[in-house]
Amino acid sequence: MPQNKLLKSLQILVAVLIFWALLTAWVQFTGQFKTIVIDSQSNKTACIFFNPDPIYNLDEQVCLAMADELKHHGFTTTIMNSSTFSEQSNNFDMYVACANTYNFAPDWSTTFAVKHIPPGSRVIALTLGSGSTSRAHGILTHAVIKTPCSMVGDGELWLMRPNDEERLEESNSSVAGDNARRLIRKSLLSID
């Protein structure tokens, strides 16, 4: 009888692991996003790349907020899917790597794209997640540091964990957008 329970427990564990592996593959590879250019009529350029989350679009909202802030600072910004970034990594004046957190690590596509940022570039590393992003953020920032680039800013934002303890009555996604704008302003100050 105990062997039957052990076998049943093992079958459940294997089923959970298979489900988790399929779910991980789905979120890593199914996000769709068409490239958007937000033109400031300036010759300063920025590129924001991310792997769209198929469940909730906090990443897209944050990227659009950052692009809007960059526009206010005279940057024409291209927002694109990380999976197409390595094919189109033109020389921009600044790059923003916006990684989603899956299984306590940054998404594979964005981490891979970081390796294709041209040497000497200025980079901002932003990690998004439900609430536990510290390990993923460490991996992302380490990936940037390993490149011959200059990291001019970094931050973490969350979907479920409060992005600002003093603004709990507001939409957490809206607060995340404000914090992303603040990250852009702070990063631009560090290079001026």
Rounded-to-integer distance, Cα 153 and Cα 2, Å? 56
On whether both 65 and 52 belong to a single domain, the answer is yes
Rounded-to-integer distance, Cα 57 and Cα 62, Å? 9
Q: Report, as an integer, the average pLDDT of 87-109.
A: 86
| DSSP state at residue 160 | S
Count of the separate structural domains present in the chain: 2
On whether both 24 and 51 belong to a single domain, the answer is no
On whether both 58 and 15 belong to a single domain, the answer is no
Rounded-to-integer distance, Cα 31 and Cα 81, Å? 8
On whether both 7 and 78 belong to a single domain, the answer is no
On whether both 108 and 15 belong to a single domain, the answer is no
On whether both 1 and 88 belong to a single domain, the answer is no
On whether both 40 and 25 belong to a single domain, the answer is no
Which is higher by pLDDT, 184 or 6? 184
On whether both 72 and 96 belong to a single domain, the answer is yes
pLDDT at 3: 73
On whether both 16 and 43 belong to a single domain, the answer is no
**Domain harbouring 53, CATH code:** 3.40.50.360
Tell me the two tokens of residue 15: 């089923």
Strand locations in the chain (E): 36-38, 44-50, 75-81, 94-102, 105-106, 122-129, 150-158
Percentage of residues of the chain with pLDDT beyond 90: 46
Tell me the two tokens of residue 97: 């790597």
On whether both 92 and 180 belong to a single domain, the answer is yes
On whether both 94 and 168 belong to a single domain, the answer is yes
On whether both 1 and 58 belong to a single domain, the answer is no
Domain, as residue range, for 19: 1-30
List pLDDT tens digits, range 24-73: 565 556 666 688 888 878 889 999 999 888 677 888 999 999 999 999 99
Which residues are CB-contacts of 48 (< 8 A; sequence separation ≥ 6)? 63, 66, 67, 77, 78, 79, 80, 95, 96, 98
List pLDDT tens digits, range 142-174: 999 999 999 999 999 998 888 888 888 888 899
Residue 145, number of CB atoms within 10 A of its CB: 13
